[in-house]
Structure 1
């Protein structure tokens, strides 16, 4: 891929997302921790969307879009690498179906995030909340499907410890994120706005670690590429050695192998 390793894609996506969150927090703190018009009475800690609906909206849209588009590319690359046997191939059509479902729901989640940044909570509060639910639910469902796929792959390729590690990371993300989302919903219903805001920030940072964890899945592809390069070098050396041997024989007057007479039928 243009001379770059595939594992860079999820790392880049995670760095962009983390950088955006840090920039938003620093901006809010450096401007005197203002109370935005979208914040509820008694709320002192803003939601991510409260900051994103103000002057940082262009950055919120752009960096969110870059994050989810590159992350979706990681799903597509993973599917392609398994199809071309550069990663352990799927052993059943069910595994391929899980992978496709994970990719499709990730794309839906990406659309949800981009749309919620465009339809901000200041001007389009109802739409914003709908797209927020789409974003979170889609990525959790996507994680379930890819976790399912990796569990089945791990059964067939027991020697691949990376598959087990990736499975447990994704399973942890599902459980931890579900607990946080439930707690976030309960606190929001009970008007505990500050606690809900803190939980939302934790959910967002958890997502960045989930995205970054996909670099593990591409490490076998990197090893395969290096292994193939070494095989090519060995073949070139062997061919070079044979060429030198033929040249030396010619110089020493050694007879070339006599070709067998052709038979015409």
Structure 2
């Protein structure tokens, strides 16, 4: 029998991070607007960067939001990898997928550390260190997104009949591509058009919320799945014996009834 609520403990991880990040950004933006759009000591253009606001009286909020967001991002990928290992999410069928997953987790760890450190070493007191950690954050998250989407692409190719998996891959890939392109544009405008850079930074930051939310969809796919039910060994055995069909509560999302089309 399926366990319909088994997933609720861990799906909160990306949700908490997403709402904390979204709330932190809105609190900072509203504070700046309500204060009459003041110009902060570290601010160059007429539009404040997130880090400009986060270097002032809202620094404790900024640090708290960055810590929770960075941890939830890293934990979301780690939990997903654990669920695949436990056979509660569709598994990595080849070593390349495990390698990609490991690099994605490493990228999330690096990006999360960069996010936390850039909030501590603010742009007003430590401008050089702040920019270094900002770069670390962008590169870490960008690499993690690339490795994650690539891993999903290979898993989706193995189980291309499962609609939810394909949706997860397409949505995650689309959001990641947009954010990476915006990050490249941000890196350019940071030096040549500071106001445009500020707008891009806010856009990327809010967009990161949606990337985090995609992990809620991913982890929720473990709903009702017993430990080992989707293990690599079990699915390979089903293929070898000619069995068709995934467990009933997983097959609800299958367009065709086989474990793989390959």
Q: Which residue of 1 aligns with 2:109?
A: 107
After superposition, where does 1:252-263 map in structure 2 within 5 Å? none
Q: Secondary structure at the match of 2:36?
A: coil
- Residue of structure 1 equivalent to 2:29: 25
What is the deviation of 1:112?
0.3
**Residue in 2 that maps onto 1:11:** 15
Question: Which residue matches 1:203?
Answer: 204
Can you give the 5+ residue segments of structure 1 that lack an aligned partner in the other structure? 232-265
Which segment is superposed worse, 25-34 or 93-102?
Answer: 25-34
Report SS of the residue matched to 2:222. helix
* Contact kept in structure 2, 1:28 and 1:51, CA below 8 Å: yes
What does residue 44 of structure 1 align with?
46
The aligned counterpart of 1:91 is 93
TM-score (normalizing by structure 2): 0.81
Shift of 1:2: 8.8
Whole-angstrom distance in 2 between the partners of 1:52 and 1:189: 20
Q: Give the number of the structure whose alpha-carbon radius of gyration is greater.
A: 1
Matched-pair contact (CA < 8 Å) for 2:40–2:52: yes
* Runs of 4 or more above 4 Å deviation: none
Alpha-carbon distance, 1:196 to partner: 0.9
CA distance in 1, matches of 2:109, 2:56: 26
CA positional deviation for 1:3: 7.7
Is 2:7–2:223's contact at 8 Å kept on the other side of the alignment?
A: no
Maintained 8 Å contact 1:106/1:142: yes
Counterparts of 1:158-237 in structure 2 under 5 Å? Answer: 158-190=160-192, 192-224=193-225
- Residues 5 and 222 in structure 1, CA contact (< 8 A), matched pair in contact too: no
Structure 1 partner of 2:38: 34
Q: State the distance in 1 between where 2:109 and 2:188 align.
A: 28
Report deviation, 1:166.
1.5
In structure 2, the CA distance between the partners of 1:115 and 1:2, relative to structure 1 (3 Å rule), is farther
Alpha-carbon contact 2:7-2:222 (below 8 Å) kept = no
Check 1:75–1:3 CA distance in 2 against 1; reply closer, same or farther (3 A cut): closer
1:120 corresponds to 2:119: no
- 3-state SS of 1:33 partner: coil
* Stretch moving more, 18-27 or 70-79: 70-79
TM-score, normalization: structure 1? 0.81
Superposed CA RMSD in Å reads 1.9
Q: Secondary structure of 1:90's match? A: coil
